[in-house]
Structures are given as C-alpha cells and as structure tokens.
Amino acid sequence: MRIAVTGTHGCGKTTLIDDFISAHGNYESVPEPYWLLAQNGMPFADGPTTADLEEQLGQSCMLLLEQAREKDLIFDRCPLDFIAYLDIVSASEGFEWLPQGRLLNRIAKALASLDLIVFVPLLRLDEIGVPIEYPQLRTKVDQRLKTMLRQDDLGLLEDGPRIVEVSGSRAERVARIETLLN
C-alpha cells in the first residue's frame, strides 16, 4: 500500500510515520520534499515563499510518480500540503495561486498513485508543547486542508485514494491506519 500523511506543520505527521514504521518494518518512509531538496543544496528563503513551495510541490509530484510502482511506502506530505500552503502564502504575497494545465494533471496523477491519504488535523488542545513557527500560517493551512479533503473543492480526489482523518493517542492513530491496510 502507498500511503501519504498530510497536515500542517507541527501536527504530528512525522511522529505518526515513525510510529507506523516501528510497527510495520516492511514499510519504507519517504521524507518530506523540503528535507530532500535541502540535502541536495537548494537554498530556501527565510520563511515560506511561493517560489520555495512550488519547488516542493514539484518534488512531491516527482517522488510519487517516480516510485509509482513501488509498494509499502509512506510519504511525509503529498501535493495537497503544498497546494494548501501555496493558497495561503500567495494570498499574503498579494495574488491567487491556482494549479492549472500540465501542473494540475501532474498533481492529479501523483495523487492517483496513492492508495491512502492520512490527514492529521490540528486539535483544539494543541499537543505540541513548544512554540511553533508561523502559528497563523499553521492554522490557516490546517483549515485549507480540511476544506480540500472534505469537500474536494479542486476536484483532485474524485478518482483518487481513500482519505482517513486520524486523531487520538499515538497508538490510536497507528491503529486507525492499520484497519485500512487490508
């Protein structure tokens, strides 16, 4: 099964992936595009920008499509994450960002290559005990992801993967994914 874990920054995606991999050693974790690009020497601006997020979106699509035939992968983030960030950040930069044409088709193909998208929403009582960078951006991206996933307002998920929203303890989150493995 090919799984992507999506959510705003500081919501517990990587922790969930680590917990899932600990219980399912046959799965391989694919790091989020930001870290892969940074390891390859891509310089990032100080703070989120449309240009940086577009690079990460492209990397996310590439990762999903290049490994489309491989099974038992769990991806940290998917194109939906970057679409949500681009929507919010572009508005703060003074314009509306919308995927179109070839990019929209590439995003749809990348998402269709997944079997499952696991959404980790922010909870009312924040589980993260340390200050998180860009708290307003974090909240806005969480709200945008909820709309995208629950209403499919971009029409990207109609023929795509199953979507599950997870909450609860760390063990409960892993157990929720496990119920969907077969």
Mean pLDDT of all residues belonging to the chain: 93
Domain of 122, in residue numbers: 2-178
pLDDT per residue as tens digits for the range 115-161:
999 999 998 656 666 778 899 999 999 999 999 999 998 888 988 89
Residue 43 in tokens: 């310089």
Number of H helices, E strands in the chain: 7, 5
The conformation of residue 122, written as its DSSP 8-state character, comes to P
pLDDT per residue as tens digits for the range 79-108:
999 999 999 999 999 999 988 889 999 999
> Does pLDDT of 23 surpass 70?
yes
Query: CATH number, domain at 83?
Result: 3.40.50.300
User: Domain total for the chain?
Assistant: 1
> Does pLDDT of 26 surpass 60?
yes
Q: Where are the alpha helices (DSSP H) in the chain?
A: 13-23, 33-39, 50-66, 79-92, 101-112, 135-151, 170-178
> Does pLDDT of 172 surpass 90?
yes
pLDDT at 125: 56
